[in-house]
A and B are shown apart, each in its own frame.
Chain A
Amino acid sequence: MTDISYPLYLDLAAGVFLLTAVGVLWRQQLAAMIRLFALQGAALAAIVAILGIHQHDVELVLVALGLGVLRTGALPYLARRALGNSPAETRETRPVVNVAASLLAAAALTLLAYAVTRPLVALSPSPATAILPAAVAVVLIGFFILVTRRRALSQVIGFLLLDNGITATAFLAAAGVPLIVELGVSFDLLLVVLVLQVLTTRLRTAFGSSDLDELRELHD
């Protein structure tokens, strides 16, 4: 990879990273949301790998490999298992904010991320910090999905999106975190998804759906 094409690859990976987040917001089919999430994991791994190759840092490339395995393989696999087979559960039917409005909100959140990160980018302008707004935008969009969706699984995906964004921000702004911290975060994430998978299954056996609004009232 030459130094001239390095920003180009980085920009493309960041573009895919942000676009998949918007795609998750756009699609209502949970299976499609999981596919897009896996694609986003690949984009995140690509960003980290490009950074590692550019800095001739073997550790970063290995972290990228690990991220790729976890976020395009393990987490989507677990999410798909939590999805189950019942046809009533395959769609996010009634999000709190409708799709058109949430897409417009995503546009506003991206502009907000751009405005917020401008001072950060100005501190050390480089191709890596230039795509920092995309990472922050993914954090905001992930949070938005987390608060506006009703199904347990789409909330899980919102949470994972949020974490993808935080990881990308860490690698872009601070040139990575120590390996041990990254490992800890990854295991945390895996455990969260496993716990939420159990929760989804229990919800479905108890209520017949994974709509978290059913949890509003107390029963004995």
Chain B
Amino acid sequence: MNVAALIATAAQVVMVVAGAPLLVGLMRQTRARLEGRAGAGVAQPWRDLRKLLRRAPATPTGTGWAFGLAPLLLAGTSLVLAAVVPLLTTASPLDRAADLFAIVGLLALGTVTLALAALDTGTAFGGMGASREMTILALVEPTILVAVFALSARVGSTNLAQIVTTTLQDPLRVASPASLLAAAALVIVVIAETGRLPVDNPATHLELTMIHEAMILEYAGRDLALVELAASMRLTVLLGLLSSLFLPWGIAGAGLGALPLALAAFVAKVAVLAVGLSAAEVFIAKLRLFRVPELLAGSFVLAVLAVASSFFLA
């Protein structure tokens, strides 16, 4: 474990924490502009967070430890994810933990704690949101694991840094059918995991079909700020993960010299992905809840095809 890698990883964590609300702001601003509204500005999520952080959290009567623990655990897993995933550098000191299965486990841990907290409140909305989130998680998990299998089969390792390095050495791999299919499957999975439009509507508080917002309805003050920050960090890390797996150019190795370039490349890639995602969201409506399994079954098929093609084209 050397100093350069530590600095690079620290820079990565700071960048994700500071940049995540700005990313959400960018997505909202893009959407607002495309809809012909002025928008609140890119920094509005940070202003919201500052306002929420000044307020005391309120705990509903009768809730137990799950409700209090969830924001901390969600934020904690998001921080670990931000440190582990190779966004700026492949030489992270946590390299041994940067296993795709471990990352999927961390993501699921955050989701499950939030669902438990929602059940803990005992409200109708909380229970509904939790059950929906679990349905989606149960359908998303196999897709992620199969897509991961397709990506790791050609490298021979599920270590993220190794996958990224191999792709950097052989850029034509990205254009192979296995990689393209896995990319399409993972994009759908990321949309479902982060509660973006065809699956969940992030802009509403008052809709019977909401999922994420239904789970965090009872949070207030600092706790809400933590949950919101963690949700935006997960979005940033997942978009960063997509860009690292399929567009890995610019990621630095062990040295510190390439770090500024890596930072610029990361910001550009994630911003392009986010603007594209929110621009696409303008044109689509939310799917009915009962049609979400169709979408996720489709992404599962894409992942299976990715695995199949990585074998029969090998």
Contact = CB atoms under 8 A, between A and B. Distances in A.
Interface string A98-126: 01110110110011001000000100000
A100 B308 contact: no
A99 B181 contact: no
B176 A18 contact: no
A47 B181 CA distance: 19
Interface string B119-144: 00000000000000000000000000
Interface stretch (A7-15, A74-82, A83-91, A188-196): A7-15
Contacts of B311: 114
Contacts of A12: 175, 177, 180
Contacts of A18: 305, 309
Contacts of B308: 110-111, 114, 133
A19 interface: yes
A132 B312 CA distance: 9
Interface string A130-165: 110110000000000000000000000000000000
B177 A15 contact: yes
A6 interface: no
Nearest to B303: A107
B300 A103 contact: yes
Contact of B301 (A8, A107, A130): A107
Most A CB contacts (10 A, CB to CB) among B176, B298, B301, B302 go to B301
A33 interface: no
A18 B177 CA distance: 10
B305 A107 contact: yes
B180 to A, nearest CB: 7
Contacts of A26: 294, 298
Contact of B305 (A11, A22, A104): A22
Given A8-B176, A12-B175, A103 B313 contact: no
B293 interface: yes
A104 B139 CA distance: 12
A19 B303 CA distance: 12
Contacts of B177: 11-12, 14-15
A143 B70 CA distance: 49
B265 interface: no
Interface in B160-183: 172, 175-177, 180-181
A19 B297 contact: no
Nearest to A102: B297
A107 B181 contact: no
Contacts of A104: 297, 300-301
Given A12-B175, A12-B177, A114-B312, A99 B304 contact: no
A131 B313 contact: yes
Contacts, number: 62
B276 to A, nearest CB: 20
B181 A15 contact: yes
B301 A106 contact: yes
Contacts of B302: 19, 22
Interface in A2-41: 8, 11-12, 14-15, 18-19, 22, 26
A121 B312 contact: yes
A18 B304 CA distance: 12
Interface string B22-43: 0000000000000000000000
Contacts of A131: 312-313
A26 B296 CA distance: 11
Contact of A19 (B172, B181, B294): B181
Nearest to A117: B312
B181 A133 contact: no
Given A11-B176, A14-B177, A19 B305 contact: yes
Most B CB contacts (10 A, CB to CB) among A19, A99, A100, A111 go to A100
A133 B305 contact: no
Contacts of B181: 15, 19
Contacts of A101: 297
Interface string B276-310: 00000000000000000110011011101100110
A8 B305 contact: no
Contacts of A100: 293-294, 297
A131 B293 CA distance: 30
27 contacts: A8-B175, A8-B176, A12-B175, A12-B180, A15-B177, A15-B180, A18-B305, A19-B181, A19-B305, A22-B301, A22-B305, A26-B294, A26-B298, A99-B297, A100-B293, A100-B297, A103-B298, A104-B297, A104-B300, A106-B301, A110-B304, A110-B308, A111-B308, A121-B312, A131-B312, A131-B313, A134-B312
In order of increasing CB-CB distance, the 5 nearest A-B pairs are: A15-B177, A100-B297, A107-B304, A103-B297, A99-B294
